[in-house]
Amino acid sequence: MPTTFLNLSLILLVVLLTWLAYKYFELHEIVAPYQKRYKHLLSGIASMVDRIEGYNVRHSAEVAKICERLGIAAGLNLMQLQTLKTAAMLHDVGEILLPADVLNPEKPLDPEELFLIRAHPLLGELHLKKDNDICDEVPAIIRWHHERWDGLGYPDNLKGEEIPKSARILALADAISAMSNNRPYRKHQYSGREEILFELESHAGLQFDPELVRLWGKLIRKDLAEEIAEKLKQDDEEVEA
């Protein structure tokens, strides 16, 4: 009797797991097209904002990739990572409402223009809250992605860990991407990842979360070490050939 009961239990378990797997793949087939359309929609909006800002690269997508790397290193879970990447793709959506000459200045901004620029996180937050109720934490992350660790950011002068971690990650990722691309109004153009990292480390604890800067430094040094190792390997192969 115990053996028969065990066999029956195993059969029922297999049937249940098979049914659950079927329902999972059935649901995946239903949801996948909508997820794909959602990603395409985000990408389209982000590309439009990038063009308005004057970037000749996919700035928002680059910010999202940096956010993903930093988010994983910082211990965010899958849901938090997805929310962060969505916020990264839309982080400058408020700039759509600003004059083009303010977004692509050829000279330093005057106080009025600077005020307009600093309004874009609020405009982005309000726009997303008004038009989309399913964004969850995305509008808040966008609102605070220009806050600073030392409390001198905007719009709310949040300080340190008062700033949500996802917003701190987005702030750092946005700066990394911006420094990686030449901008006409910037006096100094950065020559590479090492110089950008040096700049970030000099602002750790001031503009940026020092722990996030440390994590990014660890990732970059690992990348550089792997690239050097790969180059040495290729050189050895060429010598042997």
pLDDT in tens, 90-108: 898 888 778 777 777 667 7
Half-sphere exposure of 145 (CA within 13 A, CB side): 33
116, two tokens? 């307009």
Would you tell me how many other CB atoms lie within 10 Å of the CB of residue 102? 17
**What band does 219 get if pLDDT is binned at 50, 70 and 90?**
very high
Counting every residue written for the chain, the total comes to 241
pLDDT at 186 over 70: no
Place of tokens 């063009």: 51
Distance from the first to the final alpha carbon of the chain = 71
Counting Cβ atoms within 10 Å, is residue 147 exposed (0-12), middle (13-18) or buried (19+)? buried
42, two tokens? 């985000």
pLDDT at 178 over 60: yes
* CA 220 distance to own-chain centroid: 16
Residues with Cβ within 8 Å of residue 4, at least 6 apart in sequence: none
Model pLDDT, residue 87: 92
Domains and their CATH numbers in the chain: 2-240 (1.10.3210.10)
The alpha helices in 54-164, defined as continuous H runs, are: 59-73, 78-90, 100-103, 111-118, 120-131, 138-143
**What band does 109 get if pLDDT is binned at 50, 70 and 90?**
confident
CA distance 236 to 24: 49
Report angle CA 29, 30, 32 to the nearest 5 degrees.
65
Lowest average pLDDT, out of 42-46, 63-67, 136-140, goes to: 42-46
- Helices 165-180 & 59-73 angle (0-180, nearest 10): 130
